[in-house]
């Protein structure tokens, strides 16, 4: 088995396979995960314990197939120590973002979680931290300052940095068309993605049921960022995601950091553990194989399959 790609930092090696590819599982969802569960008989939403239980169940079953796992405070990592359901052999990415959500709308803005400081990061043994940024074309200093403070926290904590860009139209407006949104994904990468160790992007060039534009758009994003980047699955229909990962990695993406396309439809099952074992395991295995094959073709990196 060969070493990961030359130039990859030790921090990122902890989150990649032997080819330098990333097949990472996201379990850092908070209010969005709560809304995936059926309401309780009185109409209220499930409590934090339900979310924590699901994260532990999914993480325990799926970590062996992932090169890394993204977890949040306080639901998945409530205390300043490594979560007991993730062994040392699986790299942890700690969400350092504080998400401000509106029920039925989703995340509307983000900040830095004040509890995720250097001491907390080191205590968890995280290999990296992640920041979600809601990006609009208004190039405001608040967003730039947020990213700068996040990158400084990663440097001070001696961990890798993942910046995730989610594009939204200007306040009070809609996208002119789908191509306008596709252009924004590339603009966001240029604006906030070039200084992080890894950029996490929405699948560029994707249309529902059509991944034909993903490879070309991914090549453009690869040139813009100039370092490893990965795709997320939010906004991609689950049946399309494997094909989207195939096209994105052919265009230069180093893999994926995804959750919904892997496990979202298991949340409401009477037995989530069984559903994850029956459906999510196969999906994550397929996605991981796509990344590894793409990396072998692109870099000549070998290794036993």
Q: Are 169 and 198 in contact (CB under 8 A)?
A: no
Q: Per-residue b/e over 25-43, b at no fewer than 16 CB within 10 Å?
A: bbbbbbbbbbbbbeeeeee
Listed residue (273, 269, 220, 278) closest to 247, CA to CA: 220
CA 121 to CA 80: how far, in whole Å?
Answer: 8
- 106 CB contacts (<8 Å, ≥6 apart)? 32
Q: Which of 130, 200, 207, 292 is catalytic?
A: 200
Residue 151 structure tokens: 């990158």
The span from the CA of 134 to the CA of 104, in Å, is 17
Peptide bond into 74 cis (omega under 30): yes
Number of helices followed by number of strands (H, E) in the chain: 11, 10
- Catalytic status, residue 55: no
Angle at which helix 178-192 crosses helix 141-157, to 10 degrees, equals 50
- The residue among 12, 31, 2 whose CA lies nearest residue 129 is 12
Cα 236 from Cα 185, distance rounded (Å): 14
User: Which residues are known catalytic residues?
Assistant: 200
């Amino acid at each position: 088995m060969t070493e990961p790609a030359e130039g990859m930092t030790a921090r990122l090696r902890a989150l990649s396979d032997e080819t330098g590819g990333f097949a990472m599982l996201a379990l850092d969802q908070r209010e969005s995960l709560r809304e995936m569960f059926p309401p309780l008989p009185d109409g209220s939403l499930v409590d934090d314990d339900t979310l924590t239980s699901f994260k532990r169940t999914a993480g325990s079953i799926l970590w062996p197939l992932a090169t890394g796992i993204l977890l949040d405070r306080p639901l998945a990592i409530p205390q300043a120590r490594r979560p007991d359901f993730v062994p040392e052999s699986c790299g942890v990415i700690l969400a350092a973002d504080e998400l401000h959500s509106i029920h039925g709308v989703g995340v509307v803005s983000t900040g830095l979680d004040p509890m995720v400081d250097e001491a907390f990061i080191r205590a968890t043994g995280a290999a990296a931290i992640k920041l979600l940024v809601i990006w609009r074309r208004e190039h405001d200093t608040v967003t730039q300052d947020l990213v700068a403070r996040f990158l400084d926290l990663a440097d001070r904590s001696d961990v890798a940095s993942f910046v995730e860009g989610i594009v939204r139209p200007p306040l009070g407006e809609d996208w002119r068309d789908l191509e306008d949104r596709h252009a924004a994904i590339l603009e966001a990468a240029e604006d906030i993605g070039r200084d992080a160790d890894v950029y996490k992007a929405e699948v560029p060039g994707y249309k529902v049921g059509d991944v034909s534009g993903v490879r070309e758009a991914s090549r453009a994003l690869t040139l813009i960022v100039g370092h490893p980047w990965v795709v997320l699955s939010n906004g991609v229909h689950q049946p399309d995601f494997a094909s989207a990962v195939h096209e994105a990695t052919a265009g230069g993406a180093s893999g994926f950091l995804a959750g919904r396309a892997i496990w979202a439809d298991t949340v409401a099952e009477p037995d989530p553990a069984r559903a994850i074992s029956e459906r999510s395991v196969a999906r994550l295995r397929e996605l991981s194989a796509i990344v590894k094959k793409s990396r072998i073709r692109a870099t000549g990196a070998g290794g036993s399959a």
